[in-house]
Amino acid sequence: MALVLHSGKTNKNAYKALIAAEYSGVKVQLVENFEMGVTNKTPEFLKMNPIGKVPVLETPDGPIFESNAIARYVTKLKADNPLFGSSTIDYGHIEQWIDFASLEIDTNISRWLCPRWGFASHLPPAEEAAIAALKRALGALNSHLASSTYLVGHSVTLADIITTCNLFTGFSFIMTKSFTSEFPHVERYFWTLVNQPIFSKILGEVKQAESVPPVAGKKPAQPKEAAKPKAKVEPKKEEKTKEPEPAAEEEAPKPKPKNPLDLLPPSPMVLDDWKRLYSNTKSNFREVAIKGFWDMYDPEGYSLWFCDYKYNDENTVSFVTLNKVGGFLQRMDLARKYAFGKMLIIGSEPPYKVKGLWLFRGQDIPKFIMDECYDMELYEWTKVDINDEEQKERVSQMIEDHEPFEGEALLDAKCFK
């Protein structure tokens, strides 16, 4: 009995098995005349998968459902299949990225896309959370791919097949160029994979979404207000109540709650004025910009923090280290209104040291930044004591990219403003 895959022809979960089969030299036949919503509700299909989800692989030993399990089964049919890597640790990393692609990427793409297709209620807060989680996942993937063509080793593995198929839905239907441009290594990875002959044979021509699809279907009804005492109704007003009114969900959205930092007492230090001074000072930097900074600095409305990367011994490749810092600054974009930062990459040879200086609104590192930007946990954070002249001088040197810095050359310096 041949292996028969029960699914429609455009199901990205079916693509996983079909691509794995092509790489493994395994024959998998896609069932004919499959109609989603009809075929998968028949008694015959429900015997193979009681909840009616697709795809399902029909094998001589019985059916298998769940797309990742099917892809693993097909791959296992070839002895010593390189899609599983060349060592036990390779296999562990492959499984790691399969789980990551499913739980962090596929799940959040679905949470963003499905409500817009009308398959679930559209809740703006839930959508924002899904997009934030997806960006975090893509940021992590982008950092890994900064120094790698593939997820594991130097050739395609099952991890690449499953990750690419999961990204396929996002790139094709909701992740526009303006969204993915923040993750250039993910872009390079995705387009490299989908244009390889075997991927292209199964996926066909892949085009990136040009816009985010509009919300389809009915939005959840708003909670009813408590009953109010009835007032006398004049005839004309009674007629008006019979006229159709806009649905509650079509009303203008309520303003978002203010960021707690916006509720702090006003500060005499205007962050944009400092950023403008920093950007426009082309000469006499110490006398103009640094002096201007200390004249502007409000120690009650702002705080200064040193950060030191915890894993400097891993910074053995210069461009990887630079990309790591660049990715961190991209993910700090959510803090642009409330922060200014300098990141120094130090050393003339590896391992390179990464140290930073950050100016934050308020007396603590803002909680929303700690919660949303996972890179924050990769650094040790120390609050600057501006009454300590040595620390104050260190702040000045970091702002001006002083070289040598603490006796060492600067590989690069990056600014967040």
Q: What is the pLDDT of residues 112-132, one digit of tens each?
A: 999 999 888 888 888 999 999
- Coil vs helix vs strand at 222: coil
pTM greater than 0.75 (yes/no): no
pLDDT of residue 21: 95
**Per-domain residue ranges for the chain?**
3-77, 88-203, 271-416
Strands (E), 124-189: none
pLDDT of residue 334: 85
Mean pLDDT of 330-343: 91
Beta-ladder partners of 156:
none
pLDDT of residue 219: 44
For 271-416, CATH gives: 3.30.70.1010
Question: Is the peptide bond prior to 404 cis by the omega test (within 30 degrees of 0)?
Answer: yes
Mean pLDDT of 348-357: 95
| 3-77 topology per CATH | Glutaredoxin (3.40.30)
pLDDT of residue 1: 57
pLDDT, one tens digit per residue, over 241-298 is 333 433 333 344 445 567 899 999 999 999 999 999 999 999 999 999 999 999 999 9
pLDDT, one tens digit per residue, over 121-173 is 888 888 999 999 999 999 999 999 999 999 999 999 999 999 999 999 999 99
Mean pLDDT, all residues of the chain: 89
- Coil vs helix vs strand at 128: helix
Reported CATH class of domain 88-203: mainly alpha
CA dihedral 127, 131, 134, 140 (to 10 degrees): -150
**Torsional class of 361: left (φ above 0), alpha (ψ -120 to 50), beta (otherwise):** beta
pLDDT, one tens digit per residue, over 50-93 is 999 999 999 999 999 999 999 999 999 999 999 999 999 999 99
**Tokens coding 55:** 């795809």
Question: Is the peptide bond prior to 55 cis by the omega test (within 30 degrees of 0)?
Answer: yes
pLDDT of residue 255: 56
User: Which range, of 127-141, 239-253, 304-318, 364-378, averages the lowest pLDDT?
Assistant: 239-253
Contact present, 310 and 379 (Cβ < 8 Å): yes
Please state, for a pLDDT cut of 90, what percent of the chain lies above it: 74
pLDDT of residue 256: 56
- Coil vs helix vs strand at 236: helix
Q: Which of 74, 75, 72, 90 is nearest to 155 (CA)?
A: 90
pLDDT of residue 216: 74
Shared fold status for 3-77 and 271-416? no
One-letter amino acid at 401 equals D
Mean pLDDT of 313-342: 89
